[in-house]
Structure 1
Amino acid sequence: MPYFSHKLLGVILGLLISGQVLTVAAVELNPAHPESYEVVKGDTLWDISARFLREPWLWPDVWYVNPQIANPHLIYPGDRIVLTYKDGRPILSLQRGAQHLKLSPRIRSTALDTAIPMIPIDAIAPFLTRPYVMEKEEMELAPYVVHFLDDHIVGGAGIRFYARSIESENPLRYEVIRPGKPYKDPETDELLGYEAAYIGAADLQRTGDPAKLELVSTTMESVIGDRLLPVTKGVPLNSFQPRAAKANLEGRIISVINGVSQIGQYNVVVLNRGDRDGLEPGHVMKIFQGGEMIRDAVAGGGKTVKLPLEEAGLLMVFRTFDRVSFALIMHATQPLHVLDWVRSPEG
């Protein structure tokens, strides 16, 4: 059985294949691996990798590209993946099938504003194209809604409003953002940023203090105090490649998007680590539970013992900010929770 549903599509499929077998000694085979596997429509590269490898993201380390095959970086339904060995190391290679259907999966990097073959774009695209995290200074300096025209109490598409202090006509379009709860480091209590809900878009009609704008689209009603940020472009992941986070990197899950209490496969979570800690899109981390201090009732005298950490799942970072990151839960062996630990697979 593969680790993940065949419904999982694309972020994980931005594997950039090198063209040669990489000699990495740490790759371990799945004990139940097949000798070969025929690709079917709906497969993902991660699924296929999980059939052969204990750690699916290490696929590029054992991939052999046959230069005699046309487009050897692409895998189609009907193709066969074959396991062989070279100098005692496993090699996965491609035998081209007779029929070439629509690509699925695609073993190369693609920008996220083009078709990513294997992930439902709408599941993660909003998290790549909108802020969703605001820095404290950014929030304090941003223009904000102070009044809606024509006696409106809240604003929807087509409603004009005034905002504090916009003196430049560049840009002419803004995203309307509502700051939410603070993200804090559970270990140090450091303020890492603020959750930011996307409200809509507004066009600048007149600069000044107050400036005049019109809401052109909304996902929910705007209210006084909503902040305005220049429209940002999507986050292109042109060289997105799943790989282990750097050794000894450790963090915590500090929030889950959409507020569910128990976290499972394909939920998006927030980590208390970001750019400044060396996290990058594509980094894979293992999830652990435990570590609590409990009272030793037998020993008595107020003595305690620390419970060990137990592996509970796997996630992949897909967007980073300065001090926090967004990650997709790839696999969970049990319900996950806020404050669970995350660590690099390399220890």
Structure 2
Amino acid sequence: MSRSRPKMNTRWGALAARAAVVAAASAVLPALAAPNYPVTPDQRATAHQVAQAGVPLAELAPDAPQTHTVRPGDTLWDISKLFLKSPWRWPELWGMNLEQIRNPHLIYPGQLLVLVKRDGRAMLQVGQSLTADPQTVRLSPRVRAELLENGAIASIPLHLIGPFLNEAVVFDSNELELAPRIVATQEGRVLLSRGETAYVLGDLGGAREFRLFREAQPLRDPETREILGYEARYVGTAEYVRPGEERFGADGKPVTVPATFVVSTIRLEVGVGDRLSPVPQRELTAYAPHAPAAPIDGRIVSLYGDALSAGQNQIVALNKGRRDGLERGHVLALWRAGRADFDTTSGKKKPIQLPDERHGLLFVFSAFERVSYALIINVKDPVHPGDRFTAP
């Protein structure tokens, strides 16, 4: 398969400042759910004009390097922390065409990133060493844009969210009640492990690979108690072996023969009653960290797994989803609720409420209609259901 090399603006490309994203995309962001939203010539021109300015020098990290050679294992988040005080503001430093706000020009191991400062602003360019002198570089106006499988670095470490892309699933309704189910096991075993046989009844719909789930639980909004969706406990995966059939038994009466499956992977031991859902196509396209275009204020619904509190690199469910404007790549601020206290300095005990304090960041990696999953990028204090999040 040939690899495309999209051309960047000849003036080093569109270095997308936050102002460009807000100014040029505000009129089209109500259509976020659409895969290709329209961009008018005026909006594109505005975006490029603002983007070419780069970011203020005051936004750079105090020890930002002049150059950085991308290494295997680097992520956009890692590189952002090298250059910027706020890593999620990567799109403001690095250029992205307006059509690719959610899938930017990607960076590859071996490329040289050069920090250019001019007139109180900073821009980041791709360079290539011409000599052994690391200070001598040749700037290039081209950057490849390809899928992660073709070698580009990711936004954040995929090993942190990779297992959850298929495992952490929210169903809009309790559809698992009607899903195909395991009705019997190999040799009547209570629990099955990898490589063992399960027998399934239900409409398979032509799929051949399925996820196994158990105990679908409603996700309720912490404030309204409204059901936002149903989260089922991920058990593992199973592969189709042969179909079921209807036949007549020895007594001449009709009898149902279940379909045969083999358990291919397990997170929990598989048992009778577990439900099957087709494995979706895995999405590993890159998406740059960026702020929501509009204000957002929500609450954490639950912590993924059995923990009572969560910390860095753990997964949380949010009470906002696609219909609220959240999308993959959005970065959100975590807030710690201010405690109730008393003012005793005036001689009287007067109740006061301390302000909320920002204490961490979330990275949205999966968005459903009314719920999203996010990775805790960093945090100072334990995170609990009901904690608040906003745009950063």
Same fold? TM cut 0.5:
yes
Aligned-partner Cα distance in 1 for 2:209–2:126? 48
Question: After superposition, what is the alpha-carbon deviation per residue over 1:109-131, rounded to whole angstroms, capped at 9, x for unaligned?
Answer: 65455555355544322222345
Aligned-partner Cα distance in 2 for 1:189–1:142? 26
Equivalent residue letter for 1:48: I
Pairwise CA distance, 1:186 = 0.6
Pairwise CA distance, 1:217 = 1.3
Residue equivalent to 1:58: 89
Pairwise CA distance, 1:74 = 4.0
Could you say what secondary structure the match of 1:276 adopts? Answer: helix
Show the 5 A alignment for 1:161-172: 161-166=198-203, 170-172=206-208
Aligned-partner Cα distance in 2 for 1:278–1:270? 15
Residue equivalent to 1:225: 273
The change in CA–CA distance for 1:73 and 1:141 in structure 2 (over 3 A counts) is closer
The change in CA–CA distance for 1:91 and 1:149 in structure 2 (over 3 A counts) is closer
> Is 2:218 aligned against 1:182?
yes
Aligned-partner Cα distance in 2 for 1:63–1:169? 44
**CA-atom RMSD in angstroms:** 3.6
Contact 2:91/2:288 (8 A) holds in 1? no
Aligned-partner Cα distance in 1 for 2:80–2:210? 42
Pairwise CA distance, 1:324 = 1.4
Show the 5 A alignment for 1:208-219: 211-219=258-266
> Is 2:144 aligned against 1:97?
no
Aligned-partner Cα distance in 1 for 2:111–2:151? 21
Contact 1:286/1:315 (8 A) holds in 2? yes
Contact 1:280/1:317 (8 A) holds in 2? yes
Pairwise CA distance, 1:80 = 5.0
Aligned-partner Cα distance in 2 for 1:297–1:212? 69
Equivalent residue letter for 2:282: G
Could you say what secondary structure the match of 1:242 adopts? Answer: coil
Pairwise CA distance, 1:157 = 3.8
The change in CA–CA distance for 1:130 and 1:250 in structure 2 (over 3 A counts) is same
Find 1:151's aligned residue among 164, 171, 188: 188
Aligned-partner Cα distance in 1 for 2:68–2:359? 30
> Is 2:245 aligned against 1:201?
no
Aligned-partner Cα distance in 2 for 1:81–1:146? 60
The change in CA–CA distance for 1:181 and 1:31 in structure 2 (over 3 A counts) is same
Question: After superposition, what is the alpha-carbon deviation per residue over 1:190-222, rounded to whole angstroms, capped at 9, x for unaligned?
Answer: 222223313221415315667322223131321
In our comparison, the structure showing a higher alpha carbon Rg is 2
Aligned-partner Cα distance in 1 for 2:322–2:288? 17
The change in CA–CA distance for 1:30 and 1:340 in structure 2 (over 3 A counts) is farther
Could you say what secondary structure the match of 2:323 adopts? Answer: helix
Unpaired segments of 5 or more residues in structure 2?
1-7, 17-49, 97-104, 133-142, 247-255
Aligned-partner Cα distance in 1 for 2:391–2:384? 18
Find 1:137's aligned residue among 174, 185, 198: 174
Could you say what secondary structure the match of 1:150 adopts? Answer: helix
Aligned-partner Cα distance in 2 for 1:73–1:161? 43
TM-score, normalised with respect to structure 2: 0.67
Equivalent residue pairs, number: 314
Equivalent residue letter for 1:232: P
Contact 2:212/2:274 (8 A) holds in 1? yes
Aligned-partner Cα distance in 1 for 2:264–2:111? 44
Contact 1:295/1:302 (8 A) holds in 2? no
Could you say what secondary structure the match of 2:224 adopts? Answer: coil
Residue equivalent to 2:15: 21
Tell me which moved more, 131-140 or 271-280.
131-140
Could you say what secondary structure the match of 1:225 adopts? Answer: coil
> Is 2:328 aligned against 1:281?
yes
Equivalent residue letter for 1:129: N
Contact 1:62/1:90 (8 A) holds in 2? yes
Pairwise CA distance, 1:244 = 0.3
Equivalent residue letter for 1:216: V
Tell me which moved more, 55-64 or 182-191.
55-64
> Is 2:112 aligned against 1:79?
yes
Between Structure 1 and Structure 2, which shows a larger proportion of helix residues?
2
Find 1:241's aligned residue among 288, 310, 316: 288
Contact 1:316/1:329 (8 A) holds in 2? yes
Could you say what secondary structure the match of 1:322 adopts? Answer: coil
Unpaired segments of 5 or more residues in structure 1?
1-16, 66-71, 101-106
